[in-house]
A = this chain, B = another copy of it.
Amino acid sequence: MSASSSFSTCRVHGAASAPNRELHSNYSSFRQSLLGRLISQSRVFSNVKLICWERRSGVRRQAFDVGDKPSFFVGNKFQFDDVIEAQQFDRDILNAIFEVTREMEKVEKNSPGSQILKGFLMATLFYEPSTRTRLSFESAMKRLGGEVLTTENAREFSSAAKGETLEDTIRTVEGYSDIIVMRHFESGAARRAAATASIPVINAGDGPGQHPTQALLDVYTIEREIGKLDGIKVGLVGDLANGRTVRSLAYLLSKYQDVKIYFVSPEVVKMKDDIKDFLTSKGVEWEESDDLMEVASKCDVVYQTRIQRERFGERIDLYEAARGNYIVDRAVLDVMQKHAVVMHPLPRLDEITVDVDGDPRAAYFRQAKNGLYIRMALLKLLLVGW
């Protein structure tokens, strides 16, 4: 969301508009515990725009306030205008988002026909197909009573023949909707879109760049399954060089105390030094291992990923050899602790055998479902606030 078109004089608006008020009353005690954090929050993300903005309903809100209301939730406004990258979030914001996410679980289960986002319209602007991510966002919007405009072939907008810029497309689409969820093939596209748009933008993956809602749902799933994030032991397994998922997860885990990370991967696709250096600088303990069984026996979470054959070029022998060592099967489950879980960002091929699926510690489909709740939470926060 760009600020340029929304500066304006403000009048105080103490609560969200009436039809969207249902969830807010639960937060009053929660707000108290977060009193006074706003100023530090606002430094987290350099693009944060704590200014007045005008919703399409014409209601103006105020982001700062004085007096006894907790500044974290001033005017109920979420402190980000857009969700572009995992680095936006520190642990206080993550905790607050996860609190809303748990509310969303209840809404989905108990309130068919929720009207929290009634009257809001989300545009899914997908420049490359990703059915799983798209359906998850569209389900999230509809579970909250919102509506959706779908564009799976958004490349047409910017086809060579027509040659429109991303910025021009955004300026058109923002006229038709209240929030844009964008998937793009170019790193940085989401940030460009957000800089242009006068409505919120959520990055649903931009090429090799960021996929922040995946990172959030991964951390949320660990907390939901294990019950904590401080002191957690996580084994990241598979292709650690190319997977943006494991890189973002390692980044976010660094925000918690006493975390231990194990990297288990073939030599060719080892975790890169930038993340290792970052973890070291944050005091996060990590080690590399080629023994999946040993790591699995120690970890709270075995986070498996797919090893892509094409990364090995013509050395198919290396690929086959590597894969064989890092498959999560019954034998791995047998050494894992009772409370530990297996996660995977999906789709899964044979790096987790299907006989694992029936074990209660197989968390990957619950993890996919958590993606729905995280996206419900973010849509609610960006459109109607806390």
- Say whether A172 contacts B57, CB under 8 Å: no
Q: Is there a chain B Cβ closer than 8 Å to A19's Cβ?
A: yes
Q: Is there a chain B Cβ closer than 8 Å to A143's Cβ?
A: yes
Return the chain B residue nearest A112 by Cβ. B119
- Say whether B147 contacts A142, CB under 8 Å: yes
Q: Give A328 Cβ to nearest chain B Cβ, in Å.
A: 15
Q: Is there a chain B Cβ closer than 8 Å to A154's Cβ?
A: yes
- Say whether B149 contacts A135, CB under 8 Å: yes
Q: Which residues of B have CB within 8 Å of A111?
A: 119
- Say whether B347 contacts A164, CB under 8 Å: yes
Within 8 A of B (CB), among A175-195: 175-177
Within 8 A of B (CB), among A95-141: 108-114, 118-121, 123, 129, 131-132, 135-136, 138-139
Q: Which of A44-52, A72-80, A252-260, A365-373 contacts B (4 or more CB under 8 A)?
A: A365-373
The distance in angstroms between the C-alpha atoms of A164 and B163, with both chains bound, is 34
- Say whether B152 contacts A153, CB under 8 Å: yes
Q: Is there a chain B Cβ closer than 8 Å to A56's Cβ?
A: yes
Q: Give A264 Cβ to nearest chain B Cβ, in Å.
A: 22
The distance in angstroms between the C-alpha atoms of A251 and B372, with both chains bound, is 42
The distance in angstroms between the C-alpha atoms of A157 and B129, with both chains bound, is 10
Known A121-B142, A142-B121, A149-B138; judge A347-B168 contact (CB<8 A): yes
- Say whether B347 contacts A109, CB under 8 Å: no
The distance in angstroms between the C-alpha atoms of A132 and B175, with both chains bound, is 11
Q: Give A383 Cβ to nearest chain B Cβ, in Å.
A: 10
Among A111, A131, A167, A369: residue with most chain B CB under 10 A: A131
The distance in angstroms between the C-alpha atoms of A110 and B57, with both chains bound, is 5
Q: Is there a chain B Cβ closer than 8 Å to A6's Cβ?
A: no
Q: Is there a chain B Cβ closer than 8 Å to A331's Cβ?
A: no
Within 8 A of B (CB), among A144-180: 147, 149-154, 156-157, 162-165, 167-169, 171-173, 175-177
Q: Give A355 Cβ to nearest chain B Cβ, in Å.
A: 13
Known A108-B56, A147-B142, A346-B164; judge A153-B176 contact (CB<8 A): no
Q: Give A147 Cβ to nearest chain B Cβ, in Å.
A: 5
Q: Give A108 Cβ to nearest chain B Cβ, in Å.
A: 7
Among A164, A176, A354: residue with most chain B CB under 10 A: A176
Q: Is there a chain B Cβ closer than 8 Å to A321's Cβ?
A: no
Q: Which residues of B have CB within 8 Å of A152?
A: 153
- Say whether A58 contacts B110, CB under 8 Å: yes
- Say whether A372 contacts B109, CB under 8 Å: no
Return the chain B residue nearest A178 by Cβ. B112
Chain A residues with a Cβ under 8 A of chain B: 19, 56-58, 108-114, 118-121, 123, 129, 131-132, 135-136, 138-139, 142-143, 147, 149-154, 156-157, 162-165, 167-169, 171-173, 175-177, 346-349, 354, 365, 368-369, 372
